[in-house]
Amino acid sequence: MSRKKIIAGNWKMNMTPSEAVKLVEELKPLVNNPDVDVVYCVPAIDIIPVVEAVKGSNVEVGAENVYFEEKGAFTGEISTAMLKDAGVKYVIIGHSERRDYFKEDDALLNKKVKKVIEAGLTPILCCGETLEQRETGVTMDFIRLQIKSDLVGVSADQVKNMVIAYEPIWAIGTGKTATTEQAEEVCKGIRDCIAEIYDAATAEAVRIQYGGSVNAGNAAELFAQPDIDGGLVGGASLKADFGKIVNYK
């Protein structure tokens, strides 16, 4: 099976609405690659202007977070219905910053994954280990636990349409990057885990990204690996260099 690459920018807490539109207009001609799915995952306040700004282009818009309830007294939260109505297609779930800073656990993330799928949106489910976990040799044990916990009650057909992003926590925003071999080894381990939980066809279909200081210099080598289907890009997605990552060949 030939999986289409998906390259998503995670803007994190950057870009005011006016700055976001300016960046999108600058990037639009640079990220025009029909062979790659391109996604901007933007702060909630930027979603509507960015959706408008990308119209007519090959770019889809994603959200950086979501809540698992339909509506109600959940001050500050955003529902899948709100995101869908605004034009969002993807939602990042379980980024290490959400897990670490905001104490989101796997039980909560499992609810979010199921809610996003139920709404007809595509989850980008993040997983990854700390430097301490890598150095003590428990990387795959930890990531397998995350994957298995976050996908409880999710069917094989639903998983086939998901995206999973492997982001070693020690390589996010640090300038450190996992070697190509390390990134491929873990992405293959994630695919093997999906095959164990479901079956080989599901594992073959699911797209697995690498994230962690992806840049124009290392994208081509990373994305050439058999189990790496693109990237979840942080800081480099806020610059013109994102175009070089999208057109990595």
Model's pTM, two decimal places? 0.97
Backbone angles phi and psi of 220, in degrees to 5: -60, -45
- Number of structural domains found in the chain: 1
The 10s digit of each residue's pLDDT in 175-187 is 777 899 999 999 9
**Closest by alpha carbon to 231, among 157, 168, 170?**
168
Tell me the residue range of the domain where 31 lies: 5-246
According to DSSP, the residues that pair with 123 across neighbouring strands are 91
- Mean pLDDT of each 10-residue bin along the chain, 249 residues long: 93 98 97 97 98 97 98 98 98 96 98 98 97 94 98 98 96 81 97 98 98 92 97 96 95
The single-letter DSSP state of residue 123 is E
Domain harbouring 9, CATH code: 3.20.20.70
Q: Looking at the chain, how many residues does it have?
A: 249
Angle between helices 106-118 and 139-150 (to 10 degrees): 50
Which of 95, 97, 129, 184 is the catalytic position?
Answer: 95
* Residue 118 known to be catalytic: no
What proportion of the chain, given as a percentage, has pLDDT over 90?
Answer: 94
Which of 64, 129, 167, 184 is the catalytic position?
Answer: 167
The 10s digit of each residue's pLDDT in 193-213 is 999 999 999 999 999 999 988
pLDDT at residue number 38: 98
pLDDT at residue number 1: 59
